[in-house]
Amino acid sequence: MPEQLAFALEVTANGLMAGVLYALVALGFVLIYKASGIFNYAQGVMALFAALTLAGIIDGQVPFSHLINAVFGTDVHYFGWNAPAFLAILLTMVVMIGLAYAVQRLVFRHLVGQEPIILFMATIGLAYFLEGVGDLMWGSDIKSIDVGLPQGMNTWIDDSTFNTLGYGFFIDNLDIVASIIAALLVIILVMFAQYTKQGRAMRAVADDHQAALSVGVSLNFIWILVWSLAGFVALVAGIMWGTKSGVQFSLSLIALKALPVLMLGGFTSIPGAIVGGLIIGVGEKLFEFLIGAPFLGGATENWFAYMLALIFLVFRPQGLFGEKIIERV
Amino acid sequence: MFYREAGDFSTSYPEDSQTFPIKFDRYRYYLVLFIAIVVIPFFINDYWVNSLFLPFLIYAIAAIGLNILVGYCGQVSLGTGGFMAVGAYACYKLMTSFPDVSMVILVLLSGLITALVGVIFGLPSLRIKGFYLAVATLAAQFFLVWLFNRVPWFYNYSASGQISAPERTFFGIEITGPNTQAWATYLFCLMFVIASAYVARNLTRGSMGRKWMAIRDMDIAAEIIGVNPLRAKLTAFAVSSFFIGISGALFFAIYLGAVEVGEVFGIQKSFLVLFMIIIGGLGSIFGSFAGAAFLVLLPVALKIVGVDWLDWPTDIVAHLQLVIVGGLIIVFLIAEPHGLAQLWRVAKEKLRLWPFPH
């Protein structure tokens, strides 16, 4: 077995794992875009916010403690308890649902019927707002999340590949768990959309707002539901990325990683998000390994995904699985 | 009472089609120009120039450029930071390669180079539309920043990877480097701002601008009535990138003096300029100025209130600033999706009838 090939295989495997995580973030985008036509740039910041809230609740931090201390001259920081991970996740989910409700009531309800670009700008505003609120609430220092997910190298894969190929693959346990959870999440979401009453209503809204309204679907409720689902996906993504590399501002930048995934897969397709995520994950890792690092000076991961998506789109403007764009005068 | 068309008769076509057809408007415009050129240079110092005037002027050029692309031609771009970086690095390479050429020519050349790059990245816009295009322009943003970071030729193989502007003079007065006078840099930038606004204003009300707007409103319909979408979109990308390149060159050479590309021309810059034209008003030259002024003033004002008056820690003020900027954008979009420029238009309509609205 040539060593280069073994390396390339390992890189591919890691790329697949990373791709699953990208797909996870992209899913949140697709959900909201399908149901309300809003391109939610704030998805990444929602993941950051969820992870910050989770970390804050586990540590028993007092929300807005810095602000309170600055205004009233007090000195409070911690409640003095540590919440169990499960309870904290539930509480964070409650916060995310509250957030979904607030976003729908205070922002997007007032913007119904505006052009898509205005809605997009509003989500950028929302992203800034949430980022600021998250930092004010929980402080901007780097936090770590530990909800009991396994971490470190998977020794079984290492051993078995070493025995068969003569070279042990390094694959993080966390990545494996993340992939499994992401796959489960996708199955659950698809089942929810296909087989439940609310899921059907959601698809109806995605298809045609007015027709859905006329058969008695509550748009308000569906939109809150969709934003809550996106919040849930954000929470899962936040836990994964937060466990992997700590909760900090850069977490919100995963949204930027998810954008080319969306372009490649199509904004309106859940399977597209998955396939796009895998292609981009493998593609950028392999490109960096084969061409980027040896010939171009490295760090090509920053732009490769975008270039790939860009070139791809020139040939197929709606992405892999997106609905065909039909334009009429 | 003062702001009215009544009694203001045009006797020739040029008079009828001038930019400011209302007398009061015209005089106000001359007054603003007079104050900007003659009065302000006598009263500014380094602090005001560096914290307010230079960023305002330079961002105004960038906002005009982006507004042509997004507001007039309807092609959403998130690559502004990358194009500003092209302008900055082009200016740097030109400054170091041709030390004897006038800065004005170099800045204009940087603009031209950026226009070329803009056209290349604008090519996909013929196939890709809407959000897909917005995301596609991010490719330009990330690729260009990476390129300037990784290819040593662009920063002349300097050890730090930074570029810093050598000292250059304009009519014997230093305008770059550490020993500049506040008024000199201010006037140099102001010159470009006035020229850009003049050119942009007249381009957008001419046939080219009409073509852009036709493409923006519905590109297929525009194509049917005879607008060539290839030419319209690519000229919009070229003109827009030209202005953005100029602003990038000035940002680097005059304002900052030394630049680390990832930090200065990152994606945050793209969003900042985009916010300026949204808050100011899409499809309005005045809006570009208003938005730039607003977003330059806001952080300074918040810092004065938060840090100097209330004595809060700077990090809290920085976070509050995020909250306020984000909140303001949402409030603006809900209350007035067409931005400050629309408020201004409404005010002018009211002024026309004032003080007898009925």
Query: What's the complex ipTM?
Result: 0.82
Q: Is the pLDDT of residue A2 over 70?
A: no
Q: What is the dihedral of CA B46, B47, B52, B56, to 10 degrees?
A: 30
* pLDDT exceeds cutoff 80 at B162: yes
Q: Which pLDDT band holds residue B221 (cuts at 50, 70, 90)? A: very high
Is residue B91 within 8 Å of B114, Cβ to Cβ?
no
Q: Cα dist. B245→A36, A329, B238 in Å?
A: 37, 35, 10
Q: pTM for this structure?
A: 0.88
How many other CB atoms are there within 10 angstroms of residue A250's CB atom?
A: 13
What was the pLDDT predicted at B245? Answer: 95
Q: Which residue is closest to A302 within chain B, CA to CA?
A: B142
pLDDT at A264: 85
Q: How far apart are CA A311 and CA B313, in angstroms?
A: 47
- For residue B149, the chain A residues in CB contact (below 8 A) are 299
More confident residue, A294 or A129: A129
pLDDT at residue A1 is higher than 70? no
Residues of B in contact with A259 (CB under 8 A): 135, 138
The arithmetic mean of pLDDT across residues B42-59, rounded, is 89
Q: How confident is the model at residue B1 (pLDDT cuts 50, 70, 90)?
A: low
Longest dimension (CA), chain B: 70
Phi, psi for B259 (deg, rounded to 5): -135, 135
More confident residue, B156 or A317: B156
- Residue pointed to by tokens 């959900």: A31
Mean pLDDT of B51-73: 93
Q: Which residues of B touch A26 (CB under 8 A)?
A: none
**For the ranges A161-165, B3-7, B171-175, the one whose mean pLDDT is highest:** B171-175
Q: Note which residues in 310-349 of chain B have CB less than 8 A from chain A.
A: 312-313, 315-316, 319-330, 333-334, 337
What is the rounded CA–CA span in Å between residue B31 and residue B37? Answer: 10
**Strand, helix or coil for residue A153:** strand
% of chain A exceeding 90 in pLDDT: 5
The answer on pLDDT for A165 being more than 80 is no
User: Counting beta carbons within 10 angstroms of the beta carbon of residue B128, is it exposed (0 to 12), middle (13 to 18) or buried (19 or more)?
Assistant: buried
Identify which has the larger pLDDT, A75 or A223. A223
Over range A166-172, report the average pLDDT.
72
Domain edges within chain B: 1-8+20-43, 46-266
Q: pLDDT, tens digit, for every residue of B89-117?
A: 999 999 999 888 888 999 999 999 999 99
For A3-315, give the CATH class: mainly alpha
Tokens 């929302």 sit on residue: A126
Nearest Cα of chain B lies from the Cα of A219 at a distance, in angstroms, of 19
> What is the distance, to the nearest Å, from the Cα of residue B322 to the centroid of all Cα atoms in its chain?
22
Of B28, B127, B132, B126, nearest in space to B344 by CA: B28
Instruction: Give pLDDT, residue B85.
Output: 95
Residue in B closest to A325 by C-alpha? B129
Taking only the tens place, the pLDDT of each residue in A174-226 is 788 888 888 888 888 888 888 999 888 888 887 777 888 899 888 888 889 98
Own/partner contacts of A177-180, CB < 8 Å, gap of 24 or more, are: A177/A149, A177/A150, A178/A17, A178/A20, A178/A21, A178/A24, A178/A240, A179/A16, A179/A17, A179/A20
User: Scanning every residue of chain B, which has its alpha carbon at the shortest distance from the alpha carbon of A311?
Assistant: B124
Average pLDDT, chain A: 82
B124 to A310: CB separation less than 8 angstroms, yes or no: yes
| B49 pLDDT higher than 90 | no
* Most confident range, picked from A303-307, B123-127, B268-272, B309-313: B268-272
Q: What are the pLDDT digits (tens) for A47-58?
A: 889 988 988 888
On the question of pLDDT at A15 being above 80, the answer is yes
Q: Is it the case that residue B157 has pLDDT exceeding 60?
A: yes
State percent of chain A over pLDDT 70.
Answer: 96
State phi, psi for A172 to the nearest 5 degrees: -75, 135
Q: What pLDDT was estimated at residue B207?
A: 92
C-alpha distance from A163 to closest chain B C-alpha (Å):
40
- Domains of chain A, residue spans: 3-315
- What pLDDT is recorded for position B289? 94
